[in-house]
Amino acid sequence: MPVYHIVLIRLKPGVTPELLDEFTTRAKAMANQVPGLTKIDVGPPLPITADRSKGFDMAVVGVLEKKEDITVYATHPAHMRAHELREQLCEETLVYDLEFPA
């Protein structure tokens, strides 16, 4: 069964748009590099629900083919490059993996 890999991000004060663009580029590039990762999106909360985001500024949502792919994803070099930059940007993150029927 496919898995949604959801990462909520609370940015540090003063993060530049250029740094966010670089993170988004690295994150989206993972879909072509990490086995089992079929899609990835990055973006802020929708304005109509942003007041309920509890201060999280953006999310990364990846779709993996199966739960076993989470381990491959977590240790893949492309993910580690995005993770390194995320550490520079983030004050806090929340990760949630959800398996769902196809």
Per residue in 71-93, pLDDT tens?
999 999 999 999 999 999 999 99
Residue 102 has pLDDT above 80, yes or no: no
pTM assigned to the model: 0.90
Query: Tell me, what's the pLDDT at 101?
Result: 85
Query: Tell me, what's the pLDDT at 47?
Result: 95
Pairs from 52-55 (Cβ < 8 Å, separation ≥ 24): 53/8, 55/10
Question: Which CA distances in Å does 32 have to 36, 39, 53, 79, 95?
Answer: 10, 9, 29, 11, 22
Model confidence band, residue 63 (pLDDT cutoffs 50, 70, 90): very high
Domain 3-99 belongs to what topology? Alpha-Beta Plaits (3.30.70)
Mean pLDDT of all residues in the chain? 94
Query: Tell me, what's the pLDDT at 32?
Result: 84
CA angle 22, 28, 31 (to 5 degrees): 145
Averaged pLDDT for residues 19-41: 94
As a whole number of angstroms, the distance between CA 91 and CA 101 comes to: 33
Query: Tell me, what's the pLDDT at 82?
Result: 94
- Cβ neighbours of 44 (radius 10 Å): 14
As a whole number of angstroms, the distance between CA 43 and CA 58 comes to: 5
What are the residue ranges spanned by the domains of the chain? 3-99
Q: What is the rounded radius of gyration, in angstroms, for the C-alpha atoms of the chain?
A: 13
Query: Tell me, what's the pLDDT at 22?
Result: 95
